[in-house]
Amino acid sequence: MSEIAEPGGGVGYAPRVWVQRIFAGQTGPVLVVVAALILIWYAGAIYLNAPQQIDRDRRAGIERSFIDFAAATYAQERPVLPAPHQVAAEIWKTTVEVKPTSKRSLVYHGWVTLASTLTGFGIGTLLGIVLAIGIVSSRTLDKSLMPWIITSQTIPILAIAPMIVVVLGSLNVAPIWAKGTVSAYLAFFPVAVGMVKGLRSPDPMLLDLMRTYSASPAQTMWKLRLPAAMPFLFASLKVAIAISLVGAIVGEMPTGARAGLGARLLSGSYYGQTVQIWSALLVAAFMAAILVTIVGLADRMVLRRMGVKA
C-alpha cells in the first residue's frame, strides 16, 4: 500500500488521515463508547464511594478539595464501586505478577472456567444439532420435543444449577462434567432452535428437485439441508458459547467451588473485596469476547470455503 504524504504530514500517514481511517470502520465508534463508559464509571465511583469517604474524613477531622476528595474515593481499600484503574491494577497483579498455576492467579481460575465452558459448549452443540435433525426428520419428534425444548428454558438457571451440580457430585461425577452440564443446558437451546430454522430454510423447489433425483432423506439432509443450515448454526454458536461461559460461572457459585471465576466472584462477595469481584467480572467478559470472536472467525472460514459470500 502506498503511503499518503499530506502537506505537513511528513513521511507516512498524517494524524488526520489516521483518525479518518479509524472512524471509517467500527474501531473509532467503539473507542468512543469505551471512553464514555470509563468516564461514567469514574463519575459513578465518586458518587457511590462518597458517603464512606465523607464519614472517614469527618471522623478524622479532614477537609479536602474536590480533587483530593475524588482521589481519596479512588484509593479506598474496599470501595463500593472500584475505579477502573484499581480494577486494571488488580488484573495486572493477578495475571502477570503471579504464576499462572497459583490459586491467586486469574489465569488459573479462568482456565478452570474455560475448561467447563468448552465441555458444556461441545455437549450442548452436539445435543442441539442431533435434536434439530430429529425434529426436522420426524413429525412426531417435532410435535413432542419442541414444546419441551422451549419449556426447558423457562426454568431459572440459578434454581436448577445447584441441583445439577449436587446430584452429579453425589454420583462422583467430576466437577468439570457437572459444571459442563449446566453450560450444556443453556447452550443446546439456541443451537437446536437455530438449526431447526436452518434445516427448514432450503427452497421448496430445491427439495422437490432432490425428490426428482430420488435422493434419500439422508442424502437430502447431508447435501442440501445441512449446508443451508450453516449460517444459522454459526449465528447460534455465537450465542451458545457466550451463555456456556455464563453457565460455567453459575455452576461454580452455589457449590462452594474453590477454583474458577465463579468461585472468585463468590469469595470476593464473602469478604467484601469489590476490586476482586470486578476484576473477575472483566476477565470473564474478555474471555467471552475472545470465544465469540473465535466462533466468528470459524464462521467466516467455513462459509468462505462453502462459497457463501458474507
Instruction: Give the confidence band of 129 by pLDDT, cuts at 50, 70, 90.
Output: very high
Average pLDDT of the residues in 237-266: 87
Contact at 8 Å (CB) between 252 and 261?
yes
C-alpha cell at 186: 443453556
Question: Between 274-305 and 106-137, two packed helices, what is the crossing angle to 10 degrees?
Answer: 40
Q: What's the pLDDT at 284?
A: 94
The amino acid present at 276, given as its one-letter code, is Q
Q: What's the pLDDT at 22?
A: 66
Contact at 8 Å (CB) between 124 and 152?
no
Instruction: Give the confidence band of 162 by pLDDT, cuts at 50, 70, 90.
Output: confident
Contact at 8 Å (CB) between 17 and 6?
yes
Residue 3 has pLDDT above 50, yes or no: no
- Rounded to whole angstroms, the Cα distance separating 15 from 213 reads 62
Q: What's the pLDDT at 13?
A: 61
Average pLDDT of the residues in 123-149: 90
Contact at 8 Å (CB) between 94 and 279?
yes
Q: What's the pLDDT at 277?
A: 93
Residue 9 has pLDDT above 70, yes or no: no
CB atoms within 10 A of CB 126: 14
Instruction: Give the confidence band of 168 by pLDDT, cuts at 50, 70, 90.
Output: confident
Residue 77 has pLDDT above 80, yes or no: yes
B/e letters for 237-257, b = 16+ CB within 10 Å, e = fewer, are bbbbbbbbbbbbbbbbbbbeb
Total-model pTM: 0.82
Tell me how far CA of residue 267 lies from CA of 81, 154, 276, in angstroms.
17, 29, 9
Condensed to tens digits (0 to 9), the pLDDT of residues 58-76 reads 998 888 888 999 999 998 8
Q: What's the pLDDT at 144?
A: 85
Average pLDDT of the residues in 110-131: 94
